[in-house]
Amino acid sequence: MLQHPQVKGPNVGLLGFSKGGDLCLSMASFLKGITATVLINACVANTLVPLHYKDMVIPELGSDPAKQKITESACLISVDMWNNPLEEPNLQSLIPLEKAQGPFLFIVGLDDRSWKSGFYAQVASVWLQAHGKDRPQIIQYPEAGHCIDPPYFPLCRASVHAVLGKAVFYGGEPRAHSRAQVDAWQQIQRFFYKHLSGTEPVTHSKI
């Protein structure tokens, strides 16, 4: 990544959403040169498929499909079906984020209907501090759903999930969610400017 012409360097930051979030947590934990990591509504355990790295395998976090709910529009609500990563045997799915070198920013939508994102962010905070690491920055947005995109993207409350192959309900109240997208975009930029270049953003994004 540092050799890519559009990567400024000398540091690398990661931004991950949903499943991409736990992949970024894994990258920050196992790869060198990751200076700052932002997670948007992500889990602290490996999800959906086993993670293979060198001779190590982290199993996927289990689930109980009986706990899923279906909306009147036949969309899946998955937030309650995932197993608790702090209970055995799910502890094996936890990503060893205490191995990461750089700081974390967790962006949390409190109306996320896919993950217990607020709970996972708190798990990360307690876990990191228990291992002598700094407390991560956590920003929570009431009534924001799972898909916190860049500003002015339309709210995606439901879609057919590419992995599950089913229509999934993500949550989010339109006005609050839109405001969360605007603020989160600025918070993410500020975080990366601080930890990648040691500066503050000069101007606001025009997006």
Distance CA 103, CA 13 (A): 10
Contact in structure between 64 and 32 (CB atoms under 8 Å) = no
Query: 146 catalytic, yes or no?
Result: yes
Query: 112 catalytic, yes or no?
Result: yes
Instruction: List Cβ neighbours of 147 (8 Å cut-off, separation of 6 or more).
Output: 17, 41, 155, 156, 170, 172
3-state DSSP assignment of residue 159: strand
Calculate the dihedral angle through the C-alpha atoms of 39, 41, 43, 48, rounding to the nearest 10 degrees. -110
Catalytic residue among 93, 146, 177, 195: 146
Query: 63 catalytic, yes or no?
Result: no
130, two tokens: 């228990």
Instruction: List Cβ neighbours of 194 (8 Å cut-off, separation of 6 or more).
Output: 200
Relative to beta strand 137-141, strand 104-109 is parallel
Catalytic residue among 112, 114, 125, 177: 112
Which of 112, 206, 207 is closest to 156 using CA atoms?
112
Catalytic residue among 18, 26, 114, 125: 18
Contact in structure between 179 and 155 (CB atoms under 8 Å) = no
Question: What positions carry a catalytic annotation?
Answer: 18, 112, 146
